[in-house]
Structure 1
């Protein structure tokens, strides 16, 4: 019989896979990979603030991720280049987070778990947060699905159809903030963007419609979780990186498969 910690790890990973698979499609379509990376790196600052003020890790990372999204929007509206703004914020937030977390004695031992994840240490209360956040992300994306797809394809077309692209970007920012919060315990801040991008990029090779791509991306993300956990247990490797490595293996297989 499977151990309880492994069952919790599988459930946590599948919860992440559902949200990351669908949200990752929009990240790929809108070319927001660097934005997702910046938000994920900023999560370390949220972890530091949460530990310093004895707050929930999830609340701290959500608040920080949303603050980063609003800061990016404000700076880009003032004429700054998007890639420059994201580069400054991503590295600055990560650096400040690592410095701040060094002043929290209880976090010194657990720093690696926030950077690379520790899915095998997920508890029952974490599962509630992960699945609750995942369903919230899925509900948000399904509610705005058509508007998000239209705005992702062509913002001018979206405006002609009466859709406000700024509102859809805000929806994406909120969804990304939630995803970062639920994923940091599973794959860590340094690997979150990989779980967003790799399954979606793999699914793109096999899908003819946005809906099919989202479904395939969720399946690939779920298979990556299962394969990564299996490899972690058999080879005694870190679980988070093993999950991302499995996703990368599926991506490489897809390139070979589609080239023949």
Structure 2
């Protein structure tokens, strides 16, 4: 049976699974859908056209599904869609999308989103991401699986952070971070491959060695970006255990719209 504290407000039309828990003074809007075993903290507001999956934990005073901070927004019924098993801590702000983009802000599964984090309109977050306290994403940012974003960092709109990449604390990111790369600073610059993170996730020694070679081609050998792309494709074609990660990195660099950090 759904556990809703008597002081909480659940507007007519909201769809809550029978196992959802809603703490004191929380407010759930009319267009909200919440999946099984999700817990909503006290004084939290979940509004807009927001869907929460199963087994999420939302901290106190969070603002989930608010209108996008975009001056072009005119009240369109855009969405926020959150997957399963996410932890979203206190005072976080997650906004719905805009019609200028996909119209939906998307959060995947198994993410750890710490206190005071802001995720702007039309962002796309994959799964198994860590965002430390006070990290801020502007609109239209994409963060791929297993990325880590340090506390007090700011990410410019339309930037993409690749899979397994790491952005250090108190950094300002204005261009894309390729997969597997560590970046830090104001403005953020590359500082090698996220070796320890890759080891923890089961990457082989061969794969890590190949990625280090790819990093040298991209950043250390004095090549232009176009020259580095050619060399990266050649490294990818050599095959072996490390070729799939190199392909992921090279495909990312080819697809970058804002350009990668250099």
Give the number of the structure whose residues are more often strand, by fraction. Answer: 2
Fold conserved (TM > 0.5)?
no
TM-score normalized with structure 1 length? 0.23
Larger fraction in helix: 1
